[in-house]
Amino acid sequence: MPMTSRTRIFINSISSLAAGLALASATLAHAEDATPAVTTPGAVVAQAVSPVGELASVPAPALGARAWLSLDMNSGQIISGHNLDERIEPASLTKIMAAYLVFEALDAKRLTLEQTVHVSENAWRTEGSRMFIKPNTQVSVHDLLQGLIVQSGNDATVALAEAIAGSESAFVALMNEEAGRQGLNDTVFTNSPGLPHPDHLTTVRDLATLASNLISRFPQYLHYYSQKEYSYNNIKQNNRNRLLWADPTVDGLKTGHTKSAGYCLIATAQREGRRVLTVLVGSASDSARAENSLKLLNWSFQNFDTVKLYDNERAMVTARVWEGDAETVGLGSETPVWVTVPRGKADQVRPVAQYGQPLIAPLKKGAQVGEVSLSLDGHVLRRESLHVLDDVAQAGFFGRIYDKIRLLFE
């Protein structure tokens, strides 16, 4: 069959296009090679994330504790730690989870602060630290929260657990479900206040995750943790967190103690807009846990900076798009990206982006296509997922054919 003139013109156009593609693709490859921060997934072996404390010129203080951790909440980075994943008894640090579920019930309107709760014989008889509520009385949720948080009352904790779930055992099931949702894979709860039990275990890493989630999700209730004292039934009890008196920047969070667990403290402070959280367990005394926690907080604030590298609308990488109505698209994070570094080294952080190539249109804004690693001195400090920042529609028929052929030479 003889060629039509239209077919002949189209074939000649394709031939001319193909003839110039080698030079065009070489030029394109050179331009892309000029961006050393981009690699293709699988081309490099992913490095483990390093605690930034390993890069500090001033080492972490010597602490008398079985396990400990320091976390920068702005960046989410672990600054330093010891025995992060060793399973330990949380004692009354358990009440962080109990309070989390109470706050969740308040937010969902299943409880109100003014609502009164019946105090059962079971709650009244709970051993250990007490709020001194009386059986068969009605106590407000607001009062019980102060009893749980400020006085670390086991009786108040069980009363709230029964109000939410009907029984303490049902509440403990909710605690473990929530632990699963938060990824606390080394945590098992057997009771709500934190009484000793061989299976009631967690890690300082899990406790840091739980505490930071509580602070981030329920800032409206953080004031309970900075309250220095509370009186109920004509009995005044001080908050056991000594740091509330020692440092005005400390605004929480929770103490714990049993003979087997030792003295424990989750502490948090905010200075100049930056929040640091510390977890310390297994200290020898009340004074030792406060002193060691304050040392760790001060070291974390004084020797590190936390800076915002990227806003969520700012592209970390400009990527080539194929078969689209735009040749490039910005890739970045859906949330602002903060990084914690040794003091004075923020300008030395290097982002390395890894994403699937080629990126072929259509692309939808928000689609995850890879990740970016933030490195300092060859150490990966954190990773963030990379998302498409703008929609890219498909090009027309000839534009797509043009790019398909160009890709043959890539």
Q: Which residues are catalytic?
A: 92, 95, 152
Q: What is the largest CA-CA distance in the chain?
A: 106
Gyration radius of the chain over CA positions:
28
The residues, any chain, with a CB within 8 Å of residue 186's CB and separated by 6 or more, are 85, 87, 201, 202, 203, 205, 206
Q: Which helix (H) or strand (E) holds 125?
A: none
Residues 313 and 298: their CA atoms lie apart, in Å, by 33
Q: Between 95-107 and 141-149, two packed helices, what is the crossing angle to 10 degrees?
A: 160
Which 8-state DSSP code applies to residue 88? B
Q: How far apart are CA 42 and CA 198, in angstroms?
A: 43
Q: How far apart are CA 199 and CA 209, in angstroms?
A: 20
Q: Which two tokens stand for residue 235?
A: 């009995």
Q: Of 254, 222, 249, 250, which is closest to residue 239 (Cα–Cα)?
A: 254
- For residues 312 and 45, give the distance between their C-alpha atoms in angstroms, rounded to a whole number: 27
